Amino acid sequence: MSFSGTVLRVAHFILILRWLSLDIVAATLLLLYFVSAQYSITVPVSIYIALGIAVWLIYTIDHLRDASRLATPSFQGIPFTNETMRN
């Protein structure tokens, strides 16, 4: 596999994470980790899981609510697919 192919796969993976709003969840969990480490607090894994699910649900519901208010859909396809790379 070439370097550019690897870069495209990584970029595609990152875009999928962003579309699923998992980057927001990861940032929230990292913030919890750093705050708990700063104050020497032990946070159970169940709190990480609950916080991650709660943030993902709230963020997803907010996106769906915003999308339902649009007059026309704004989705134009997935970038970095074989179809868009041929153009």
pTM of the full structure: 0.67
pLDDT over 90 at 43, yes or no: yes
Which among 29, 63, 66 is positioned nearest to 48, based on CA atoms? 29
Between CA 85 and CA 87 the distance in angstroms is 6
The whole-number pLDDT of residue 87 equals 47
Which among 21, 11, 15 is positioned nearest to 62, based on CA atoms? 21
**Average pLDDT over the chain, rounded to an integer:** 83
The whole-number pLDDT of residue 77 equals 58
Between CA 34 and CA 30 the distance in angstroms is 6
Chain-centroid distance, C-alpha 71: 25
